[in-house]
Amino acid sequence: MEVLRNRFRHLWIINQTLNNSTTMRNLVNKLKVGSALIITALICFRCAEDVEVKEASKAGSTTPRAALGQGNFSLWGTCNGHPYNISGSNGICIPVGNCSSDIDAAQQNGGQTAHAMQFNGCFKGGTNAYSGASEEAVFVCDNVSQWNGNEMGFVKTLENNVLKAYLQGGGAYITYPISTGDNGYHTFKCEARSNNVHMVDFYVDGTYKCTLTNNSGSYYNNWYYFVGTNHWYGGSNPTGQQIEMYNMNAW
C-alpha cells in the first residue's frame, strides 16, 4: 500500500508540474500577443502623426498672405456706379451703374507676384441686362493698361445671373458655369498649378468646382493686380446689383 501511495503522490506531482507549465506557456503567449498589439498601435499612431504632418505641410505651402486693405485700391467709374469702402470692415462695394455704358472698378494700386487669389463676398446679379456683355467680375490680371493680358477669376453675366469661373490670355477667353441665381456670400478662390502653368483650379467655400486650361495663357507666378469690376451696357434698372468683396488676397 505504501508503494501505491508513493506512486500516486509521484503522479500528482508530475501532473501539477505539467499544469503549471501549461499555465506559464499560456501566460507567456498572452504577453506576446499583448506586446504585439501595443507595438502595432504605436506604429499606427506614428503613421497617423506622419500623415497629419505631411498634410499640414502641404496645406501650408499655399497659405495666403495678409489680406489687402481698402487703402490698397483705387476706386473709379465712368458714369454713376460709385464704388465705395464698406465702413467697419476691409470690404469694398462696387454697385452696377445704370448709364447706357457704365464701367466701375476697385483696382489694386500696386501688385505682387502670385499664383492664386481669394476673397469673401458676393455677386448680387440679375437677369435684366440686354446681353452677357453686362457683367460683374473679380479677378487678378497682369495688364491693367489694355486689359488684354492673363486673367483668372470669377465673372457673373447679368442677362442670366450665371456665375462662371474664367480664364483670359493670349487672345482666348474660357469660362465654366458654377451656379445660377446665387446672390449669397461665399469664399471664392482660384489657384494656378505649378506643374502646368496653363491650368487653374477653382473653389467655392473650399469645395473644388472645376479646372480650366488655356494653352494660350500662363497663370503661375505672374505680377498680378487684384481687381473687382462691373460693366453695364443697357437693360432695365439694375438697382441692388453689386459686388461686395472682403479679405481680398493674392499669393
Amino acid letter at 17? T
Same domain? For 2 and 40 the reply is yes
Handedness of CA 211, 155, 62, 208 (dihedral sign): negative
CA–CA separation, 188 vs 121, rounded Å? Answer: 8
CA–CA separation, 135 vs 207, rounded Å? Answer: 24
CA–CA separation, 102 vs 31, rounded Å? Answer: 81
Nearest to 153 by CA among 246, 45, 214, 228: 228
Same domain? For 29 and 109 the reply is no
Mean pLDDT (whole number) for 197-222: 98
Choice between 191 and 54, residue whose per-residue pLDDT is larger: 191
- Domain stops at, among 14, 33, 61: 61
Nearest to 238 by CA among 123, 118, 110, 111: 123
Same domain? For 125 and 227 the reply is yes
**Is 180's pLDDT higher than 70?**
yes
Same domain? For 127 and 82 the reply is yes
CA–CA separation, 198 vs 130, rounded Å? Answer: 33
For 127-136, give one letter per residue: b (16+ CB within 10 A) or e.
Answer: ebbeebebbb
Q: Please give the residue range of the domain that contains residue 114.
A: 70-250
pLDDT at 9: 53
Reported as a single tens digit per residue, the pLDDT across 220-240 is 999 999 999 999 999 999 999
- Domain stops at, among 10, 35, 61: 61
**Is 176's pLDDT higher than 80?**
yes
**Is 219's pLDDT higher than 80?**
yes
pLDDT at 207: 98
Reported as a single tens digit per residue, the pLDDT across 52-109 is 333 333 333 456 788 999 999 999 999 998 999 999 999 999 999 999 999 999 999 9
Same domain? For 128 and 168 the reply is yes
Same domain? For 35 and 81 the reply is no
What phi, psi does 52 have (nearest 5°)? -60, -40
Same domain? For 77 and 46 the reply is no
Number of domains in the chain: 2
**Is 154 within 8 Å of 164 (Cβ atoms)?**
yes
Give the residue carrying C-alpha cell 487672345. Answer: 171
CA–CA separation, 240 vs 19, rounded Å? Answer: 90
Reported as a single tens digit per residue, the pLDDT across 127-167 is 999 999 999 999 999 999 999 999 999 999 999 999 999 99
Confidence (pTM): 0.76
Q: The CATH number of the domain where 242 resides is what?
A: 2.60.120.200
Same domain? For 77 and 37 the reply is no
- Domain stops at, among 61, 86, 101: 61
Same domain? For 246 and 123 the reply is yes
What phi, psi does 233 have (nearest 5°)? -125, 35
pLDDT at 173: 98
Helical (H) or strand (E) element with 141:
strand 135-141
Same domain? For 142 and 237 the reply is yes
Same domain? For 26 and 89 the reply is no
**CA contacts within 13 A on the Cβ side of 100:** 0
**How is residue 238 annotated by DSSP?**
-
Reported as a single tens digit per residue, the pLDDT across 10-58 is 444 444 544 444 444 443 344 344 444 434 443 343 333 343 333 333 3
Same domain? For 173 and 213 the reply is yes
